[in-house]
Amino acid sequence: MTNIAVFASGTGSNFLAILDAIENKELDLHCALLVSDKPQSLVVERAKQRGVKTLAITPKSFPSKTAYEATILEHLKKHHVSFLALAGYMRLIGPTLLQAYPRRIVNIHPSLLPSFKGLDAVGQAMSAGVKVTGVTIHYVDEGMDTGEIIAQESLDISNLTTREHIETAIHTIEHQLYPKTLASILKEDL
Ligand code: GRF
């Protein structure tokens, strides 16, 4: 059985979708750890409620990013984690974790990359006035949302007038696409 860790900083709806897919046997893996850089975030609370071990440490309490990631890496090794899924983790992954997990780190982003990288992709899409946006799952490299694209799903937003409507529709896509894509990557690669 593959042990994964989910990295998240926010509310954790994608994290819950992954846990649900595991419980429903759509995803044959074990979520060994939830890693968060925000100890107060809702996702940490949700992980505890669902019985998932958590590592919630803020980078501010470490002398460097390298030291921060080295501590995360120790815990990942202790839990025999072989794959990392970022789900709303609001930090760039550094060389320490990238070298330890080559082509074994993926991220979900709420736009059709390479459009609207970085923060507030939905807001960027609205300001640009595009009629179609979507969701991308990609491998993580040293850049911001620049790694090789694995899967995408588009969303017609021409009739969605508010940010709330767009975000709800994006989340609905994400909660299906992420577990489905993880299942196919893990079947092929591991
Ligand atoms: C998602 O929209 C994801 O694409 C982005 O951050 C958001 C996280 O949402 N990277 P949640 O915390 O999973 O609800």
Residue pair 41/12 in contact (Cβ under 8 Å)? The answer is: yes
The pLDDT of residue 189 is: 66
Residue 122 and residue 163: Cα distance in Å, rounded?
A: 7
The pLDDT of residue 190 is: 53
Residue 95 and residue 60: Cα distance in Å, rounded?
A: 18
Q: Nearest 5°: CA angle at 75, between 71 and 76?
A: 110
The pLDDT of residue 11 is: 98
Whether ligand 1 lies within 6 angstroms of the CB of 134 is answered as no
Sheet strand arrangement including 149-156 = 54-56, 29-36, 2-7, 83-86, 105-109, 132-139, 149-156
Atom of ligand 1 nearest to the CA of 15: 13
The reported pTM is: 0.97
The pLDDT of residue 114 is: 98
The residues that bridge with 2 in the sheet, in sequence order, are 29
Q: Whose CA is nearest to atom 9 of ligand 1?
A: 88
Collect the ranges in the chain with pLDDT lower than 50.
none
The pLDDT of residue 161 is: 87
Q: Which of 9, 13, 149 to mutate to test the pocket of ligand 1 (most atoms within 8 A of CB)?
A: 13
pLDDT digits (tens, 9 = 90+) for 108-152: 999 999 999 999 999 999 999 999 999 999 999 999 999 999 999
Reported as half-sphere exposure (CB side, CA atoms, 13 A), residue 114 has a value of 5
The pLDDT of residue 1 is: 86
Q: Per the structure block, which two tokens stand in for 164?
A: 């709330």
Q: Whose CA is nearest to atom 2 of ligand 1?
A: 110
